[in-house]
Amino acid sequence: MQKIAAVTGGTGFLGRHVVAALLQAGWVVRVLMRHDLFAPPQAQHGVEPVPGDLDDAAALGRLVQDAAVVVHVAGLTKAPRPADFMAINRDGTARLAGIVRRQAPSARFILVSSQAAREPSLSAYAASKRAAEDAVVAELAGLDWIILRPCVIYGPGDREGIALSRLVRRRLIPVSAAPEPRIAMIHARDAATAIVAVCAGGPSRAVFELCDGCLDGHAWREIITLAAGLLGQTPRIVPVPDGLILGAGSLSDLWGRVIAQAPLFGRGKAREILHRDWRPDRTMQLPADLWQPTIDLRSGLTDTAAWWRTLDQAGEAPA
């Protein structure tokens, strides 16, 4: 009998990769789906949709019923107020974990968190992701849970990642002044295979980071130069003071309030970008016999740039 994997966030960028990888691994996949995205025909492709959201306890109960594993990918990455991050990332996680404890205590609970959670003071987003982790530990004490912290996830289909395509097409590209931050990266397909690997077993009640295997991280200049070259660009990189980047984030927040839209880049995100050490923690890597990354930065950005070019051809070129 096939085992059921219950997934939240399955219609998002990473979530779609997770669902595809679960199906390929032979799981029966049940996906929580907002009513405005509910599409019964998806069941014909091996996915059982459950209409509802993280506020709907009844829907969460239906989602986890008889599940062998619950994969919580859903989360908020931008919001107008810190309380909004907490409402979804912390409270939604706590609600789901509580329902798993009561209705599916034998299920393995996998929280897909963020590397940002290790620095909760940097932003409201980072604080909410750490709070979500704390909620899992508290709600599922004594049960089978694991927390995964992917670093910067990228790849084809990432609409928010189009910002990098816009950036590298500029003639002048600002980067933070020395010392240059080190950033960990992971392609979405690799992140998905890691998540599916821990669905089948491995350590329990532990926190792990996910990266592309480059344990020294990547410099902004490396990422920008490589991405620009793949698009045939030769931009000039200009170091700027941290205060200028923070000021740009504050202005973005202000403009977001004016137009009533939450910006992806704001002061909190600027603080995350300016944090100097996002290198992977060597002590928090998954066991090599359980999972290893297969996509390095050059291969992953080549894949991503090819998708950017399809957007160009379709008339969706970044402005």
Q: Are 109 and 97 in contact (CB under 8 A)?
A: yes
The pLDDT tens digits of the residues spanning 232-244 come to: 998 888 888 888 8
Under the banding of pLDDT at 50, 70 and 90, the label for residue 316 is confident
pLDDT confidence of residue 24: 96
d(CA 169, CA 178) in angstroms, rounded, equals: 23
Q: Which residues, 6+ apart, have CB-to-CB distance to 134 below 8 Å?
A: none
CA distance 155 to 87: 28
Residue 301, token pair as written in the block = 């950005």
User: Tell me: the pLDDT tens digits for 55-114?
Assistant: 999 999 999 999 999 999 999 998 888 899 999 999 999 999 999 999 999 999 999 999
Over residues 122-136, the mean pLDDT reads 97
Average pLDDT (244-261) is 83
Mean local confidence (pLDDT), 296-315: 93
User: Could you tell me the CA-to-CA distances from 243 to 138, 246, 247, 270, 276 in Å, in that order?
Assistant: 38, 5, 6, 10, 15
pLDDT computed for residue 38 by the predictor: 54
Mean pLDDT of the chain: 92
pLDDT for the residue 313: 85
Instruction: Spell out the residues 6+ positions from residue 316 whose beta carbon is closer than 8 angstroms to its own.
Output: none
The whole-number average pLDDT for the span 265-288 is 91
Query: Both tokens of residue 239?
Result: 């170091």
Q: pLDDT higher for 264 or 14? A: 14
Cα separation, 169 vs 173, in Å, equals 9
Q: Which pLDDT belongs to residue 46?
A: 76
Amino acid at 319: A
The encoded tokens of residue 56 equal: 């709907």
Burial pattern 90-126, b for ≥16 Cβ within 10 A else e, equals bbbbbbbbbbbbebbeebbbbbbbbbbbbbbebbbbb
Residues 263-273 have pLDDT tens digits of 888 888 888 88
Would you place residue 44 in the very low, low, confident or very high pLDDT band (cuts 50, 70, 90)? very low
Cβ–Cβ < 8 Å for 255, 263: yes
Closest among 300, 301, 68, 106 to 196, alpha carbons compared: 68
- pLDDT at res. 47: 93
Average pLDDT score over residue span 308-318: 81
Residue 121: its pLDDT value, please? 96
SS3 assignment, position 51: strand
Confidence bin at 153 (pLDDT 50/70/90)? very high
Q: Which residues pair with 47 in a beta bridge?
A: 29
Q: What is the pTM of this model?
A: 0.93
Residue 25 CB neighbours (<10 A) = 15
Domains in the chain, please, with CATH?
4-159+184-216+279-295 (3.40.50.720)
Give CA 7 to chain center in angstroms. Answer: 14
Alpha helices, DSSP H, located in the chain: 13-24, 57-64, 82-85, 93-103, 124-139, 162-168, 188-199, 220-230, 242-259, 267-274, 297-313
